[in-house]
């Protein structure tokens, strides 16, 4: 058996926040889009700055830079639209990023007990050690989700 | 021979809504939820002042038939900068009237998207969902989301305390006037 066969390569999308890069598993990415108008309205979830309209969907925008690099983004180049799981439901969440994103294949090292909750693993790529992000710990959501037996469907209601 | 007429797609169901402004922010409410729209001036005679510490958004109540309706300042409820309200919406099947700046327009929505789960605090009680209108996203308010059951309980309790205090004062005044009458005889 070769070394390649023994390792489990996975696809990741690398995103840039300021000087740092982070990774998200590729199967959690919907698309990368140019910044568009953020619609704001009153709410009490500080991690959400507003919503954007994308393909007829209303998508919340969460600036995770404050948590990850210690300060919010002054400029943004793209929105990386991720698929965030809430129990059995999946919803789109837009993460502002400051640079190009890159798709790579790499082997993930599992996190240790001392890692922050938003770290779901580590990658070694291009001489850097990169955090793989746990979107459920990084982006806001209800504390406890009761698993639903309903089939997975977009969160929409028709009047 | 007559050609087959093309089958028509069913028209999307629509809901009539009122777009209104509070401190410059646009909101929507189902027209069916609004029982009455009045100018604030028309309330001035009918409204009674109420003071509930910790619930500054409610300063008045009005009687509507057999019910007491609490008047909620929408700007304070949403944490928006204060703006002089011009209108009051009496909301159907609630004990709430809402002070707003004005009506933008009446229109209809064909689609209401549930509030994304990323919004996970009080706003879940405030909004039925979001709708996209003319390339703008507008939150659609829940008529019963302006006062929680706990807040209504506190307001009702405060009213009944006031009524008890008033009754006691009335009894004391009556007793005092009875004493005065007997002492003068």
| Least CB–CB distance from A53: residue in B112, B121, B132 | B132
Instruction: Specify the pLDDT at position A143.
Output: 73
When pLDDT is averaged across residues A79-96 and rounded to a whole number, the result is 96
List % helix, strand, coil for chain A (3-state, nearest 5): 10, 45, 45
Of B121, B135, B139, the CB nearest to A45: B121
How many Å lie between the alpha carbon of A101 and the closest alpha carbon of chain B? 23
Q: pLDDT tens per residue, chain B (185 residues)?
A: 555 556 667 777 899 999 999 999 999 999 999 999 999 998 877 888 888 888 999 999 998 888 899 999 999 999 999 999 999 999 999 999 999 999 999 999 999 999 999 999 999 999 999 999 999 999 999 999 999 999 999 999 888 776 676 677 777 777 776 666 555 55
pLDDT of A147: 41
pTM of the model: 0.84
pLDDT band of residue A144 (cuts 50, 70, 90) is: very low
The two structure tokens encoding residue B89: 């919406």
CB of B98 closer than 8 Å to CB of B116: no
Are residues B151 and B53 in contact, defined by beta-carbon separation less than 8 angstroms? no
CB A13 within 8 A of CB A29: yes
Q: Contact A42/B79, CB-based, under 8 Å?
A: yes
Local confidence band at A97 (pLDDT 50, 70, 90 cut-offs) = very high
| B31 contact residues in A (CB cutoff 8 A) | none
What pLDDT is stored for residue B158 in this prediction? 85
Cβ atoms within 10 Å, residue B21: 17
List, for residues A20-70, the tens digit of each pLDDT value: 999 999 999 999 999 999 999 999 999 999 999 999 999 999 999 999 999
Chain centroid offset of residue B89 CA: 6
Residues in chain A: 159
What is the predicted pLDDT for the residue at B139?
Answer: 98
| Rg of chain B taking only CA atoms, in angstroms | 23
Chain A residues touching residue B121 (CB < 8 angstroms):
43-45
**What was the pLDDT predicted at B180?**
63
* Eight-class DSSP state of B50: -
CA distance B79 to A91: 27
Name the residue facing B117 among A39, A53, A86 (closest C-beta). A86
Sign of torsion over alpha carbons B137, B142, B145, B146: positive
Asked if the model's pLDDT at residue A153 lies above 50, the reply is no
**pLDDT-derived band at A6, boundaries 50, 70, 90:** low
Nearest of B63, B87, B82 to residue B25 by alpha carbon: B82
CB contacts, 8 Å: B109 with chain A = 159
Q: What is the pLDDT of residue B7?
A: 64
**Average per-residue pLDDT for chain A:** 87
What value of ipTM does the predicted structure carry?
0.84
Is residue A25 within 8 Å of A10, Cβ to Cβ?
Answer: yes
Chain A residue nearest residue B77, CA to CA: A42
């Amino acid at each position: 058996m070769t070394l390649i066969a023994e390792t489990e390569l996975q696809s990741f999308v690398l995103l840039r926040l300021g000087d740092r890069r982070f990774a998200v598993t590729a199967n959690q990415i919907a698309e990368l889009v140019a910044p568009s108008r953020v619609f704001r309205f009153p709410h009490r979830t500080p991690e959400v700055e507003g919503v954007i309209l994308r393909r007829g969907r209303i998508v919340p925008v969460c600036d995770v830079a404050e948590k990850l690099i210690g300060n919010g983004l002054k400029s943004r180049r793209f929105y990386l639209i991720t698929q965030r799981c809430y129990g059995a439901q999946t919803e789109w969440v837009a993460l502002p990023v400051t640079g190009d994103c890159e798709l790579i294949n790499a082997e993930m090292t599992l996190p240790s007990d001392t890692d922050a909750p938003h770290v779901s693993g580590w990658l070694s790529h291009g001489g850097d050690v990169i955090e793989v992000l746990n979107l459920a710990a990084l982006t806001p959501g209800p504390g406890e989700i009761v698993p639903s037996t309903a089939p997975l469907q977009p969160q929409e209601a028709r009047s | 021979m007559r050609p087959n007429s093309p089958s028509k797609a069913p028209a999307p169901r629509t809901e009539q809504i009122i777009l209104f402004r509070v401190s410059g922010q646009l909101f929507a409410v189902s027209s069916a939820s609004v029982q009455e729209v009045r100018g604030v001036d028309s309330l001035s005679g009918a409204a009674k002042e109420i003071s509930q510490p910790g619930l500054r958004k409610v300063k008045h109540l009005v009687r509507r038939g057999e019910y007491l309706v609490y008047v909620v300042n929408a700007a304070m409820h949403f944490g928006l900068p204060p703006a002089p309200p011009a209108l009051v919406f009496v909301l159907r099947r609630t004990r709430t009237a809402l002070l707003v700046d004005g009506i933008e327009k009446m229109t209809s929505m064909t689609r209401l998207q549930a509030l994304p789960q990323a919004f996970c605090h009080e706003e879940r009680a405030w909004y039925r969902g979001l709708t996209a209108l003319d390339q703008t996203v507008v939150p659609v308010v829940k008529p019963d989301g302006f006062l929680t059951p706990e807040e209504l309980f506190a307001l009702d309790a405060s009213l009944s305390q006031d009524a008890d205090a008033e009754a006691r004062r009335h009894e004391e005044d009556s007793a005092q006037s009875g004493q005065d009458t007997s002492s003068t005889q």
